[in-house]
Amino acid sequence: MVQRAPSLDLVDEYIMESSSSNKNINHKRHNTATGGAVLKDSKELQKLLESPELIEALQIEEVLEGLEEKMAQGIFIFTELARLLDYKKAKLKVISGILEDEELPLLQDLLKRLRCCLCRKISPETSTGIRPLLLDLQGISRDEVIACKSLEKKQVISFDESSLQECIKTFLRQLQKITTLCQTRHTFICDQQRRSSFDAPASLVKECNKLDCELWEAYCLDWFDLVKRQRNLSGDFDTLSEEIRRAEMESSIRAAPSNSLGLVRERLERLKKDRDLRWKVLQEMIEDICTREMNWKVELQEPEDCIVLELPSTSVLGLLGLTLKMAGEQLPIG
């Protein structure tokens, strides 16, 4: 990717520096000068890595991981119960005085979300941690694309302290309700045999009763407070990460021999040619679509080299075909 590669100007600069050093000074002095330059680069990189904001954010992340582990230990047995019910194809049923009609879909949805947390193997639907569940409590979408766009636009739903606390209490009440249902006989119905019921194992029920709701709520509120603090610190992290990346890159290039720099330059030239071809394809596609579909004449300017160009995925419907189909429009032929 061009975005993660050094610029051609930077590589050319060090190739010229290396060539002039080899011509004008002896080998010993060249090594000394290069070593001093590398030492200077290392000090600059170390200074960036010792940024107070970065250090504090990493310390907060370490505390967050500890809190997540404690919260995970508290609800792990509920995730195991949810996976057992899914394996048995067992579903909840309405029980007068314990589980009413309006509560049934909420608990079914909670069990569905619980069985996808704290899994041994990760997949698009499952997670080895509990952060998806914490996203639910914040009101943030689990879809990574939607969540990232919301974060970029700062459209994340932010709860005040009382609303967030109420969400946590509701979640814990639902867990207590599940525990009560597990203690009741003939609570779950198996799909394959409608008349047969399924009772949760006594060992699971015993572990579910050990959940300390007050302690779990305290852990969760501390976690959210730290996340807010970390989010406030991350305002300048984009700039800092770019500076660290460039410092690392410059340090490695400065220490590289001249023949390696030549190979790097050849690879960069190939990447540049590939990017130019991508740009031409994208330019023709956009200009053609704007002219044909909207009768617009547009002139595009090539973006900076640091911006990655990705060709969009297409199908037989074309770029706008799916949108037109969803809108109920008649698709053009040809």
Beta strands in 54-182 (DSSP E): 90-92
Which long-range contacts link 258-263 to residues 24+ away (Cβ below 8 Å)? 258/15, 258/18, 258/19, 258/22, 261/11, 261/14, 261/15, 261/18, 262/15
**Mean pLDDT value of segment 52-58:** 84
pLDDT surpasses 50 at 126: yes
Nearest to 91 by CA among 191, 178, 176, 199: 191
Distances (CA, A) of 331 to 52, 182, 326: 57, 54, 11
Helix (H, G, I), strand (E, B) or coil at 197: strand
**How many of the other CB atoms lie within 10 Å of CB of 141?**
15
Question: At residue 269, does pLDDT exceed 50?
Answer: yes
**Between residues 308 and 23, which one has the greater pLDDT?**
308
pLDDT at 77: 94
pLDDT higher than threshold 50 for residue 63: yes
- Note the Cα 212 to chain centre separation in Å: 30
Element (H, E) at 190: strand 188-190
Cα pseudo-dihedral 70, 74, 76, 78, rounded to 10: -160
Instruction: Identify the pLDDT of residue 317.
Output: 65
**CB neighbour list of residue 167: distance below 8 Å, 6 or more residues apart:** 137, 159
pLDDT tens readout for residues 293-320: 788 888 888 877 667 676 666 666 666 6
- Whether residue 144 is predicted with pLDDT greater than 80 in this model: the reply is no
Its pTM stands at 0.62
Identify the pLDDT of residue 22: 54
What confidence score (pLDDT) does residue 162 get? Answer: 79
Whole-number Å distance between alpha carbons of 77 and 13: 60
User: Which one is predicted more confidently, 310 or 141?
Assistant: 310
Range scoring the smallest mean pLDDT among 34-38, 40-44, 103-107, 138-142: 34-38
Predicted local distance difference test score (pLDDT) of residue 153: 43
Tokens of 270: 């190939």
Query: What pLDDT is attached to residue 82?
Result: 92
Q: How confident is the model at residue 192 (pLDDT cuts 50, 70, 90)?
A: low
Q: Measure the CA–CA gap between 122 and 258, rounded to whole angstroms.
A: 44
Name the token pair of 123: 């997949």
Helix or strand (DSSP H, E) at 4: none
CA pair distance 51, 265, nearest whole angstrom: 32
Look at 133-147, 164-178, 281-295 and tell me which has the smallest mean pLDDT.
133-147
| Mean pLDDT to the nearest integer, 58-85 | 93
What are the pLDDT digits (tens) for 217-266? 999 999 999 988 888 876 667 777 777 777 777 777 776 676 777 777 78
Tell me which of 234 and 269 has the higher pLDDT. Answer: 269
Report which of residues 327 and 288 the model is more confident about. Answer: 288
**Mean pLDDT taken over the chain:** 77
Of the listed ranges 71-80, 148-157, 220-229, 325-334, the one predicted with least confidence: 148-157
- Residues in the chain, total: 334
